[in-house]
Amino acid sequence: MNIQIKLAIISILIVIPLSSFAVSQTSSNLQFSSTDNSKLQVISSANFLYEFSQNIGKEMIDVTLLVPMGVDPHDWEPTIRDAERIQKSDLIITNGIGYEHWIDSLDVSGYSGIIVDTSHGLSIEHNNGHDDDEKHKHDNLDPHIWLNPVFVQSQVKTIANALSNSDSVNKNYYQSNAEIYIQELDLLDSKIRTDLSGCNTDFITFHNAFSYFAKEYGLTQHTIISSNNSHGEVTSQTLENIISLAKKLNIKIIFAEESTSTKTSQVIADEIGGKVLVLSPLEITSNETYISKMTQNLENLKEALC
């Protein structure tokens, strides 16, 4: 009897540690499977691309944003750590058209992942305000395709196809999510068309960001600075010209951006007895969604034009 009791105790002592070992192994395996290695590692170059990728990939991908919260992408340069993150990723989602000015400074020669250019297949605008020399190569192309919801539908399809090609097992999932998001973008597009129908068409914004938007919805964009980059110079002659134009077109609202000082726009508004509203190019990372930010833009445009 004593021997049986002893054997029972020994067997219990052996079983308990083995059970705990099995439990700990299971939980650590679960933890491991939910981290990086089992999912596509996706890096996005801009907040709107991060959001598009997240809407398509959801929990099947790990997507990170390269440009930090609150930083102007025109000012951003990648660090060594950013370069290391890029090398470890499976896909880099880019806008293209020179928007990622920093990409040329990265050594991507040994990169085994895929660089996805979401501008592929879209009709790109040239800004005639610059010479065609090397210095202005990027400035001469307008990268702001994401401000046209119709073009965004194409960007979403491009991202969905890239994810599908890299992870064919989940292809249907990516394509289905993309279709759902495209329907939301289609509703946004319809709302913009309906709400701006029959309104005035001329508006004054800070920099040359809304060309694709204006062309899509039959509007005419006038800019305080002509560059595609919001850091252009504002001269007294520029101010005089815009004030004169605003008076001629009977424009009472001057648009500013959240990433730049509103002083310039305010000076013009004061001269014409008007006011300043924000028209966001969606370049600064925020917690608001693409559709909510574009809807805010629409509301401000309606106030200016309708």
Q: Which structure tokens are listed for 191?
A: 């709302």
What pLDDT shows up at residue 253?
97
d(CA 291, CA 153): 12
Q: Are 64 and 40 in contact (CB under 8 A)?
A: no
C-alpha dihedral sign at 209, 214, 219, 220:
positive
pLDDT interval class at 37 (50, 70, 90):
low
pLDDT beyond 90 at 299: yes
What pLDDT shows up at residue 109?
67
CA angle (130 as vertex; 129, 132 as ends), nearest 5: 140
Chain position carrying tokens 């919801």: 149
Q: Between 235 and 17, where is the model more confident?
A: 235
As a dihedral over the C-alpha atoms of residue 196, residue 198, residue 204, residue 206, rounded to 10 degrees, the angle is: 10
pTM as predicted: 0.83
Long-range CB pairs of 288-295, under 8 A, 24+ apart, other chains included: 289/51, 290/48, 290/51, 290/52, 290/146, 290/152, 291/184, 291/185, 291/188, 294/147, 294/149, 294/188, 294/192, 295/188, 295/191
pLDDT in tens, 175-220: 999 999 999 999 999 999 999 999 999 999 999 999 999 999 999 9
What pLDDT shows up at residue 133?
42
pLDDT beyond 50 at 8: no
Q: Between 60 and 82, where is the model more confident?
A: 60
Least confident segment among 126-135, 234-243, 285-294: 126-135
Residue 280's identity, in one-letter code, is: S
Tell me the mean pLDDT in the region 278-289: 89
What pLDDT shows up at residue 222?
97
What is the Cβ-side half-sphere exposure of residue 252, based on CA atoms within 13 angstroms?
8
Which percentage of the chain shows pLDDT scores above 90? 62
Tell me the mean pLDDT in the region 7-23: 40
Phi-psi region of 172 (alpha: psi -120 to 50; beta: other; left: phi over 0): alpha
d(CA 119, CA 100): 12
